[in-house]
């Protein structure tokens, strides 16, 4: 690589590392703030909880949910693209009914629940029309679920979901903490590599 190109690539890598860190740490901070402020709701008619409150619920995906594709009640199909990442092909969505300690709650979310403590992926051997491997990701009956959002109604209970995770509340908090730690490892490494490229290019001018 030519020295000037190496210097430019190094600067780009440093800037990208800083931008990634700032954006990701801001998002994580918001998620951590939301879960810390949310009030626990277990489905019981607690006098302290009312419609419009920010709450967190923990339970299991109900067996009453209709299966939409394979054994998933809320899912997306994805195919593998360049670099090994996955791109969405099709969504299979519906409001998800969850069993709580006392009753049920309907979870309404614009976003798919793709983060999980366990395995939430199914490989079927299917191929997309581009001949790429296809997988399915989402929620199944009986999966543990934690959701944070605004209590839309109490009877019947319904939640407008801000964030959700297939696992317990403790698992969700651990996931946020782990993501934060990984950022403090990954971003400095990227920045150091970029700085090294810049210095090497500068010396070779």
Residue 28 sits in a domain whose CATH number is: 2.40.50.140
16, 195 Cβ separation under 8 angstroms: no
Q: How confident is the model at residue 147, as a pLDDT? A: 97
Q: How confident is the model at residue 32, as a pLDDT? A: 86
Across the range 42-47, mean pLDDT stands at: 76
Whole-angstrom Cα distance, residue 86 to residue 79?
5
DSSP letter for 170, please: H
- Mean pLDDT (the chain) is 90
Whole-angstrom Cα distance, residue 195 to residue 163?
36
Across the range 178-197, mean pLDDT stands at: 86
Count of domains forming the chain: 1
* Structure confidence at residue 46 as a pLDDT band (50, 70, 90): low
Q: What share of residues in the chain are helix, strand, coil (percent, to 5)?
A: 35, 35, 30
Across the range 38-54, mean pLDDT stands at: 86
**8: phi then psi, degrees, rounded to nearest 5:** -65, -45
Q: How confident is the model at residue 112, as a pLDDT? A: 96
Q: How confident is the model at residue 47, as a pLDDT? A: 59
DSSP letter for 67, please: P
* Structure confidence at residue 6 as a pLDDT band (50, 70, 90): confident
Of 42-46, 71-75, 151-155, highest mean pLDDT = 71-75
Closest CA relative to residue 153, chosen from 52, 39, 43 = 52
Q: How confident is the model at residue 137, as a pLDDT? A: 97
Quote the domain boundaries for residue 128.
Answer: 3-203
**In terms of C-beta density within 10 A (0-12 exposed, 13-18 middle, 19 or more buried), how is residue 127 classed?**
exposed
Q: Find the range with the poorest average confidence among 39-48, 77-86, 187-196.
A: 39-48
């Amino acid at each position: 690589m030519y020295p000037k190109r190496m210097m430019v690539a190094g600067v780009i890598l440093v800037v990208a590392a800083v931008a990634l860190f700032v954006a990701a740490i801001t998002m994580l901070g918001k998620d951590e703030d939301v879960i810390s402020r949310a009030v626990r709701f277990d489905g019981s008619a607690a006098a302290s909880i009312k419609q419009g409150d920010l709450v967190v619920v923990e339970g299991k995906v109900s067996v009453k949910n209709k299966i939409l594709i394979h054994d998933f009640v809320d899912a997306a199909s994805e195919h593998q693209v360049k670099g090994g990442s996955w791109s969405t092909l099709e969504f299979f969505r519906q409001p998800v009914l969850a069993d709580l300690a006392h009753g049920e709650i309907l979870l309404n979310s614009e976003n798919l629940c793709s983060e999980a403590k366990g395995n939430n992926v199914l490989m079927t051997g299917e191929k997309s029309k581009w001949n790429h491997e296809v997988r399915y990701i989402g929620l199944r009956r009986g999966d543990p679920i934690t959701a944070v959002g605004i209590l839309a109604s109490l009877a019947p209970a319904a939640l407008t979901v801000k964030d959700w995770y297939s696992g317990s509340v403790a698992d969700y908090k651990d996931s946020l903490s782990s993501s934060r730690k990984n950022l403090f490892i990954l971003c400095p490494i990227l920045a150091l590599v970029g700085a090294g490229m810049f210095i090497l290019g500068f010396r070779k001018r």
